[in-house]
Structure 1
C-alpha cells in the first residue's frame, strides 16, 4: 500500500466498496503519520481495516546499515524486496539537508567514471522502495531538499520515479514543494520529454563533455541519440524557467578538462542562462581515471564564466565512507544483470 499511486489506491478502495474519502484518510496515515501497519489507521472502521489487511500491507524497511563521514555526510544502505542492496546519501550543509535518492540497483548507462555504472543494471526500484529511502531515514523531518542523484538513471525507471515524485509533492502525500526536488539525468530525449509532461521539478543534466562522440564514449548509454535532440528539449524548458535546468560536469584529468572543452561547452549552452556544476572526480578501485587538479578546475571554471556561463565547483562530501558523487555501489556479490526493455 505504501508507495501505491493515488489512482491505484482509489481503484483499490472502490473495489472494496469503501467511500472515496477513505483514500484521503489512508494517504494521511501513510505519509503524514508514517504508520507501519493498517491496524494503526484508527479512524477507519475495523471492518475496512480487516478488508485491507486481507489484500495489502504497508511494506517499509529501516536502513540495514548507516555510516557517518568525518564531514557529517551519512550513507544509508537499504535492502530491496529482491534482497539486493541500495545506497542513499544524506548531506548536511549549513541550514540545508539534502537527501540523495537512488532509483535503481546499478545502472545501465555505464558512465566510465562512475562506480554505480560499473555494477551494470541489476534491477529497478519500485515507487515504495524509492520513497522508503526518504521515509525511513532518522533525519526525515529535517530534510530540506531531495535529489535523484544516487544509484541509477531515473529516466530508465520512468514510471516508478514519476509515481514517487507525485507522492513526494502531492498534498495528500508528503506535500513537498516542487522546487525542493531535483532530478539528475543523462537526458535521453524521449523519456525526458515524457517526464517533463508529468512532473515539474528541477533538472540537473549530466553533460561531462560538449563533444558528441566523446560523450558517447564516456556515457555509453547515450549512444542512441545526439546532443542536439537533448538541447532542443532543454532550451524549451529553460525558456519557461531557467532556474529549473542546470548541468553537471565531472572533471577528468586530460580527458575533458581542457580550455577547448570549456569553450565548446560555452558555445553549446550559449543563451540558456543556466548553471554548470563542476564535480571533482572521485577515484575508485578498478578505475584508472584521475581527478583534474584543483588549479585546473578553477581555470576551467573561470573560462566558462568569461564565456558567459554561471559555473560553480561542487564540494566533495562523504569521501571516507564512499558516499561522494560517483561512488555509490553496493558490495553484495553480483547477480546476472537484468534486461529492461523500453
Structure 2
C-alpha cells in the first residue's frame, strides 16, 4: 500500500489524522510545525513525537517531499526546475531573481485543458490535477527557498480548474500554523473560470491576475477558447462587485502580439473595459513556441500601449522578459522530458 503524504494537509486534516491514529490533539500542531516551519523531510526528524508514534506514523504516511529532477539555468539568473508529481508526471517551476525580489512561478496542473493558442502547456493536453502536496513541494524543495519573496501561480495549468487543491495550498501558505506568508506576497493568475474565481475572492486575500490578451471577445476567443464559456465582459462585471481599493491587487496580463492586439483600437477598448476597476495592466513580451504562427510586437508598440493606457487612467507597465534563452515559458521542458521518457521505454 502506498503511503499517504503529510505535506499538503491543513491543520483540521492533521487534527483528524492524529485522532484517527490515537495521538493527542496537540500533535497536529507539532506535525504542522515540522512540515511547514522546520521543513522536515522525514517523519523521524519530528523529535518531539515519541519514537513509538513516529514509527506508527511511518507505517502509513510519508512527508511527501521530492527534490527537482532537472534544472536549466539562464544567463540572467532565471532557473527552470523540473519536478515529478506524486502521480508520476513532470511539472515545471521557474525561479526568477531580480534586485531585491525573488519570485517562483508555480504550477497547479499537469498540462492544461484551456488550449490557449500561445501556450505550450495547452499543447500537452490535460494529464492530471496536482495535489496541494505537489504544489507546496515546488516551494519547499526549491534550492533557493530561503531567498523567495513572492509566489505567482502562473506556471502549468489553470488554477481555478483545480480550485480545491489550489485553495488548500493557499491556506497553508498564509495560515499561522503553516508558512504564515502575507497574502500580498502571492498572486494567482487565471483566464477567468468564474466559479473558482468567486471562491478564491471569498476565501483568500491573495492578489489576482487575469489573463486578458485582447479586449474584443472574438479575438480573445481565437487565442483563448474558454472565452466562449466565460466571456471577459462577464468576468469584468463580476469583479466590479468587489472592493479592491484597500485589499488585494488586481492585474491584467496582456501578451502583445504583432499587428494583432497592439493597435489604437485595442488601446481605446482596454481603457473602456478597465477604467472602473482599480487595477494594473502588465504588458508581456511573447515567448515564441514551436509550430505557432504568432509573433511578438516590437518595443515601440509595447511603449505605445503602455503610455496610452497610463495617460488615460489605467496603470500600465512592461514586464521585463526573463529566461528566454532557456525557454522559460512553461510546458517546454516537461514536454521534452515526457517525450524522452517515452522514447526510452520504446527502446
**Is the TM-score greater than 0.5?**
yes
Could you tell me how far apart the structure 2 residues matched to 1:111 and 1:210 are? 16
Could you tell me how far apart the structure 2 residues matched to 1:314 and 1:26 are? 40
Could you tell me how far apart the structure 2 residues matched to 1:242 and 1:163 are? 21
Structure 2 residue runs of 5 or longer lacking an equivalent are: 1-5, 342-347
Partner of 1:339: none
Q: 1:184 to 1:328 in 2, by over 3 A?
A: farther
> How many Å apart are 1:45 and its aligned residue?
1.4
Partner of 1:264: 269
Partner of 1:333: 339
Where 1:78 maps in the other structure, the secondary structure is strand
Where 2:188 maps in the other structure, the secondary structure is strand
Partner of 2:345: none
Where 2:210 maps in the other structure, the secondary structure is strand
Q: Does 2:111 match 1:106?
A: yes
**Structure 1 residues 194-203 or 222-231, which shifts more?**
222-231
Q: 1:51 to 1:34 in 2, by over 3 A?
A: same
* Equivalent residue in structure 1 for 2:206, among 201, 207, 211: 201
TM-score normalized by the length of structure 2:
0.92
* Equivalent residue in structure 2 for 1:211, among 212, 216, 235: 216
Counting matched residue pairs gives: 335
Partner of 2:135: 130
Contact 1:188 1:222 in 2 (8 A): no
* Equivalent residue in structure 2 for 1:183, among 176, 182, 188: 188
TM-score normalized by the length of structure 1:
0.94
* Equivalent residue in structure 2 for 1:172, among 172, 177, 182: 177
Where 1:3 maps in the other structure, the secondary structure is coil
Q: Does 2:137 match 1:118?
A: no
Structure 1 residue runs of 5 or longer lacking an equivalent are: 336-342
Aligned Cα root-mean-square deviation (Å): 1.7
Could you tell me how far apart the structure 2 residues matched to 1:301 and 1:25 are? 50
Could you tell me how far apart the structure 1 residues matched to 2:212 and 2:76 are? 28
Q: 1:298 to 1:91 in 2, by over 3 A?
A: same
Partner of 2:344: none
Partner of 2:30: 25
> How many Å apart are 1:240 and its aligned residue?
4.8
Could you tell me how far apart the structure 1 residues matched to 2:163 and 2:7 are? 18
Where 2:143 maps in the other structure, the secondary structure is coil
Could you tell me how far apart the structure 1 residues matched to 2:108 and 2:85 are? 11
Could you tell me how far apart the structure 2 residues matched to 1:334 and 1:197 are? 42
Could you tell me how far apart the structure 2 residues matched to 1:278 and 1:197 are? 28
Could you tell me how far apart the structure 1 residues matched to 2:145 and 2:186 are? 14
